Amino acid sequence: MVLVQLADLHIGAGWVATDPLRTLAATIDSVRRLDVAVDGVLALGDLAEHGSDEEYARTRAELERLEAPLYVVMGNRDDREVLRRQFGLEPSDGAPLDYATDLGPARLVVIDTTVPGEDEDAGKLDPVSLDWLKRELADHPEQGTLLAMHHPPLLTGSPAWDRYALSETSRTGLAEVLERHPQVTQILSAHLHRPVLTQFASRPLLIGPSTYLQFPIGMQASRLDPTDEPPGFVVHFIAPGGGTISYFQTVTSGVTCDSV
């Protein structure tokens, strides 16, 4: 099974001169040039900058060019109800966007780390989502599982990144859940606008690049200033049992990124 991971699309943003819709279109073109059939697309949060219907409609039109099932994740810039409406998900009265689906060789579990009404960039797993995750994993103990969330459950050591991290209590609670559920084989995250590979709770934690712009590695940085690096995405080849080979791919044609 081939799952393409896209992240931090930010359609409607004006952080730099580069249009995020143009970089997303170039990313989709790059995916379409792959010599493999795409079986699913995981859009890992911050699909829209302001959470508007118009931004999501433009995002969806580009993603649908891949002609594959779409699995969307809430990011800190997203609106829960507008995202649900635009991507055909049932309304929920503002409840977290938590769901699971069968990918064939593995199960995909999506959990919402956003905190509406609080710091718009920081993340948290509220008790409702954490309890839901416990039940979901307990109900499918034998099936290899990929866990997807927008905020990665780690501290990077960079002050600029770590002020927007998943909260310490959430990281602790998630680690305790994962210790009891070894079927979770990999964690997929976004939010940092930078490809990163590390571990959390003895699981591989893969953070994908943005389709919009990247942030530099800066362990002493107190603010995030975008680079002129091109957009990117991740291609996951998922084997029976949930074992995964993942490739970071840079978009090398059809786009020029401007840092100012």
Interval 2-32: pLDDT, tens: 999 999 999 999 999 999 999 999 999 999 9
What is the three-class DSSP state of 166?
A: strand
Assigned CATH topology for domain 2-250: Purple Acid Phosphatase; chain A, domain 2 (3.60.21)
For the whole model, what pTM was predicted?
Answer: 0.94
156-164 average pLDDT score:
87
Question: For residue 159, what are the contacts with CB-CB under 8 A and spacing of at least 6?
Answer: 220, 221, 222
Token digits of residue 226: 């975008």
CA pair distance 187, 199, nearest whole angstrom = 9
Interval 168-203: pLDDT, tens: 999 999 999 999 999 999 999 999 999 999 999 999
Q: Is the pLDDT of residue 258 over 60?
A: no
Q: Confirm if 205 and 5 have CB atoms less than 8 A apart.
A: no
CA-based nearest residue to 155, from 147, 146, 163: 163
Instruction: Tell how strand 203-207 and strand 99-102 pair up.
Output: unpaired
Residue 118 pairs in a beta bridge with none
Instruction: Tell how strand 145-148 and strand 40-43 pair up.
Output: unpaired
39-66 average pLDDT score:
97
